[in-house]
A and B are shown apart, each in its own frame.
Chain A
């Protein structure tokens, strides 16, 4: 379904949040763009994500992953913590922080 590690950073370094691994940290650059195989219309999922704070410019960091299939994930989203499934997280595009340092910023 998703690759365990963050996709090898493309030149832009923008990946869907759902494909990033634990320890990833970065900034939201787009919401509601990824294909969505879920039961919701893409527009509805987008608004839900926006309402819970996944909005362009927000800082995200993946803190934890579930035991089975590394799903769901728990992320720090600015000052709050949010749990969501990778399928929904795929609709959030994130830009990794510069350099490998991103991988080292694990949960305090």
Chain B
């Protein structure tokens, strides 16, 4: 009898199965087949780092439990040309999966994953400095009956701390080969592969795994503890740094103050550090536009390039430095080991809002983008807690809102210092992020109160040891984001911009007409058609034009405004978009625009992911409806309050 809470919500792409062992399928290890090797282990032991080291992939590695929530496969080639396929899996303490991510691991290991045979070899990955739980897991994995290798990973740390591990004895006790590895330095990879190859040819035993009872768990724990005592001696230089740092970072008062300061600094940095580089990029694009205007004859093509491509895509690319600074901060926090501490500090607040304590990590990563945040919610075992997290994740201020916020803030909020040291623009930015967080908590609270009363799920989470972020990993992470951003600019944003330019220029101005051409274009017509709906919240028809393509991606709204105002003003208006807005919008309109973007459902791919994760259109639809309603209300309130107070 199983109690699979995780499965009540569509367990991503895994067939629903009961936990009773099924007879093994015919063995797949024919000599010609390429062997498949599964990486299994407790959370945060370095499985993905090992996967990257073996396959040369660049999957996300970070210092908290629950980074990997999907199955990833990649090829491995040994020095002598031998080939295999490696499968990276979410971390788990047992095969008795409780959450959707753990269900993936269970299903792959037991050969229940849709259309997939069992792996030929299992590499059980262990954090060499934290063996107790993984030894029990290794015993459980052995009962699956697959050939197995134990990789004692993070062996560099174990050596530094002076752990003494009797590898041969451990291998004898467990009855499997044991290899030491340092995944982040690619040490021990050939030895590991040799050990795997020695097993891949072995016949496969029938597997006999079934869900252990609590008594069996205790017995296995005792056996694991016996093995550990026999093979491992305590470190001579244990990690005291983590304890000392925690006494500050988890301090009830100092810890919360530090968390707030870190977030505050992050948004100040996004605003102030990025400025010089942004000015440089902006100047570059302005220069380019003038250059093109000089060398190209006046005409349709020149308009497309200056108004559509340069002022549109350029207006988005300018924000690259800000987005990278934000990612730098998030990656540093993740690698350092701070995320789990933030979740600890926020647990009560999250719990009060009806959210699961662990939800803070997916929500914090939603600052980068809601999509990994929504997928990260797979680590939450309860269906309701997970759905609530998914529903509120898009309220967290993702990096695609940065262009919108920055543009409006720098056009309307004076760049001055308040209270001696705080940059006012940075403060408003912090406020917008705060508004996102507070509304996510409020919506979570309301969902919980209205629909899902009842007790919340347990919160039990390992706190990893702090690690100095690895420079290479950090740089790779930031560069990956830069590439993703540039690719978006070159594809989605560029094609939207060409479309918008087209709609804004066609059909051309009738002979003898007064006013700019855009008034007579399709875009103008659409904008004027929608405007009445948006007038109560202070939006003009140009904004209406920009909002529609913004549905594809939020940044496009900024680019679209650039094009709309550039086309409207003629070629000479190519220049700072902020100035154009400053002259054309009232303060209440600008504030309403900001308020709108806190809530507006404006990213098609987010809805796609919510559909995939919940396996129904009902949830993305509900999400769209509630976000749209909130956006309209918030913009309405912002516009009228600002107007009434004479701004």
Q: Which residues of A contact B (CB under 8 A)?
A: 31-32, 37-41, 43-53, 55-57, 63-72, 74, 78-85, 87-88, 107-108
Contacts and interface: CB of A to CB of B under 8 A. Distances in A.
B290 interface: no
B243 A83 contact: no
Given A38-B455, A48-B458, A66 B252 contact: yes
Contacts of A51: 93-94, 96, 133, 136, 217
Contacts of B256: 67
- B contact residues, range: 35 or more
A84 B458 CA distance: 8
A33 to B, nearest CB: 11
B138 to A, nearest CB: 14
A41 B459 CA distance: 15
B130 interface: yes
A30 B242 CA distance: 28
B218 A83 contact: no
Contacts, number: 138
A83 B214 contact: no
Interface in B234-270: 240, 242-244, 246-247, 250-253, 255-256
Contacts of B345: 66-67
B225 to A, nearest CB: 7
Given A48-B458, A52-B460, A80-B130, A63 B243 contact: yes
B73 interface: no
Contact of A67 (B213, B214, B348, B458): B348
Contacts of B464: 81
A81 B242 CA distance: 10
B413 interface: no
17 contacts: A39-B456, A48-B460, A51-B133, A51-B136, A52-B460, A52-B462, A53-B132, A55-B218, A55-B221, A65-B252, A67-B252, A72-B347, A74-B250, A79-B132, A81-B465, A85-B460, A88-B459
Contacts of B242: 81
Given A47-B214, A66-B252, 12 more contacts: A39-B454, A43-B214, A44-B3, A52-B133, A55-B221, A56-B218, A67-B348, A72-B344, A79-B129, A82-B461, A107-B246, A107-B247
A108 B133 CA distance: 24
Interface string B326-350: 0000000000000010011101110
Contacts of B255: 67
